[in-house]
Chains A and B, each alone.
Chain A
Amino acid sequence: MLRFWIALWASKLCLFIFKLTGHERDDRPGMLALRMCKDFFKYVATPKLTIAVTGTNGKSTVSSIINNVLVREGMTTSYNDWGANHRPGQARCLLNAVNIFNRPNKDAAILETDEMTSPMNVPYIKPDYMVVTNLERDSIRRNAHPEYIFSCIEKALKNSPNTKVILNANDPISCFLGENNERAYFGVADTKAEHFESGINDFSVCPKCYSIPKYNFKHYGHFGDFYCPECGLKTPECDYFATDIDFENRTITVREGENNYKYPIVSDTLFNAFNVLSIIALFRQMGISPEKLSEHLSNSIIPVSRESCTEVNGIKLYTFVAKGQNVSAASAVFEYMAKEPSKKELVLLLDEVYSNTTATETVTWIYESDFEFLNSENITKIVIAGDRILDYKLRLMFAGIPEEKVVCVKDKFEAPDHLDFSDVERIYVLHDVDSITTGRKVRDAIGERIKRECE
């Protein structure tokens, strides 16, 4: 215990210095706390409300909006808004929520939680709620496959039996989590949108009887209304069921028991509609009225690290996260690119760039991801930039994309020179989570070029 107190005071001092020097968004104080006391999570006090958010995709967006709603409710919160979701980040978040006497000084902590390491901290933190957005294919190197990640989260929840779990009923993998926890489900009715058949299939056999499962309808990827014709396994009943999504007016109608409520959504993508729905389910479970929640959501936005838009001379320029190595996230974005009807050009900056550049070598993910979706008439040109251009070129040819539509350049900042602005409504710069700044710089360079050409 003495070790904990020393760790707490040392890391609090470290956090204070970091804040003083403008380095608040840094998880090193948390790292120090864990180095000095490996049982830090066991002893650190938690606020009266602790919410964990996990899942393959959508964690940052969902956590950010949850934080915004709580702040608008007048609560003081501790939240890492820079996506630090590993143990040091979580230690940093909880460190910020207590005083030097280890007494909570915030009303709530919102913990974006890495799925794989969740068994190492969730059982100690024992969050009041855990939102699981979805389980999909992620980085092969770290997360292996969804079945493995399911086992990690299940282990975490087994050791935190009082945590209430908010689950996606349309996800045939994560919906079976938390067998011994109290659960609430959200789901979406058939949107009747055109479904693109993905090459990824993580629900290829029934987990109970190994037969081939079927769907009444699919949303995207493996999400939909599923059932097993042999053993009867099926989509759980939804507590919060989106009966209608109006992307044009950006609203979602949610059936809750006998009542229907309308809420705003933050984006015109189906995956973000699911994200908002998970937040609605959480706050309705907490007892916030639909009217208040609706007002809070109308003041929420998607974090700019995920999506940004500017307009230059009538052309909309977007940056969009399409995580490299993350098969499902990239595929969902590619599907959106094809379904969003405007005439567009794409810049792909998907190399995963870490200090060890050999990391960019793992290209298994590009053969799992649905690059086929980019073979669409509304996508008039694809400029790929980075170290792995030869791999991407081959993959795009595999996907049936005409060679004349594809330009490969090694230098990312050469990409704008190969775009054609004469007949295009939108340009998307799709980038990895680690190239947010590069993505924005490339977007700005495109803007500059448009301006120059128009002068």
Chain B
Amino acid sequence: MKIEVLFPELSNIFGDFSNIKLLKESLKDAEFVYTNNFDRPYFLDNKVDLVYIGSMPESKQELAIKRLMPYKEEIRAAIENDVVMLATGNSLEIFISHIMDGENRIDALGLYDLYAVRDYVNRHNSHFVGDFEDIKIVGYKSQFTMCYGENKHPFINVVGGCGLNLNSKQEGIRYRNFFATYLLGPFLVLNPYFTKYLLRTMGCDNAIAFEKQAIDAYNHRLDELIKKGRFLMGEHG
């Protein structure tokens, strides 16, 4: 099993890296390849079982787009060839059409026909519950952007919280084995059932590390969120 972590030096915020820690604990024999922003992505020339990229500050997100732009068509081809990829937090925006920052348009890879609008004054914070197939997904959003456009490939249907934007009932992008979500931080840790699904997609039936404790915490959170039914938060809750 081989897992590539794209640009770990750029995307090391919000606890997203705990997703890799969980995979490391769960897949003791797996090899992890860390590709930094000066290097060509490993998965373009080699077989990997998962490519992961996490949240990043906005300037580093723009750098990541710049670094990946020359490989845009190869990345598109890899997704068409069913390479398993997971993007969490604002790394989703790397793969869409563009990002508007005031009057400034930042072209992204353009693999999906969506665009994001940054608003540094109103940071959005919310809890989330959604449906992916028969799995309930839980998580958090904390972002400066909202995403717009016709989402032809939604990942999760919103049960509570915010979709790609405040009026959207769809969250994230799922196309073939490409999964991208604005949900950030310990996404896999918080969602043990989805993690098992992802591992199966990667061709692995392993139990996940600390599975019992993770499921206990997941059930408690899901129960709490559904009971409270309050999802939007201010900066202090």
Binding site for B on A (CB under 8 A): 137, 139-142, 144-145, 147-148, 199-201, 204-205, 210-212, 352, 354, 356, 358-368, 390-391, 393-394, 397-398
Contact = CB atoms under 8 A, between A and B. Distances in A.
A367 B12 contact: no
Contacts of B210: 394, 397-398
Interface stretch (B42-50, B76-84, B95-103, B182-190): B182-190
Contacts of B184: 364
Contacts of A142: 123, 235-236
A368 B225 CA distance: 23
Contact of A147 (B9, B58, B190, B228): B58
Interface of B: 9-10, 12-15, 17-18, 21-22, 25, 36-38, 57-60, 63, 120, 123, 125, 127, 140, 142, 144, 184-186, 189-190, 209-210, 213-214, 216-217, 220-221, 224-225, 228, 230, 233-237
Nearest to A434: B236
B14 A368 contact: yes
A398 B9 CA distance: 22
Given A364-B186, A367-B15, A390-B220, A204 B10 contact: yes
Contacts of A363: 185-186, 190
11 contacts: A141-B234, A144-B123, A200-B12, A205-B10, A210-B63, A211-B38, A354-B236, A356-B237, A361-B221, A367-B189, A393-B217
B18 A367 contact: yes
Contacts of B37: 205, 210
B189 A394 contact: yes
Contacts of A211: 38
Nearest to B25: A398
Main secondary structure of the interface of A (DSSP, over half): helix
Contacts of A366: 15
Nearest to B37: A210
A144 B185 CA distance: 12
A354 B184 CA distance: 23
Contacts of A352: 237
Contact of B60 (A139, A205, A358): A205
Contact of B13 (A358, A362, A368, A397): A368
Contacts of A144: 57, 123, 142, 144
Nearest to A212: B9
Contacts of B228: 358
Contacts of A141: 123, 125, 142, 233-237
A394 B185 contact: no
Contact of B237 (A145, A354, A368, A390): A354
Contact of A398 (B21, B63, B123, B127): B21
A393 to B, nearest CB: 6
B57 A148 contact: yes
B10 to A, nearest CB: 7
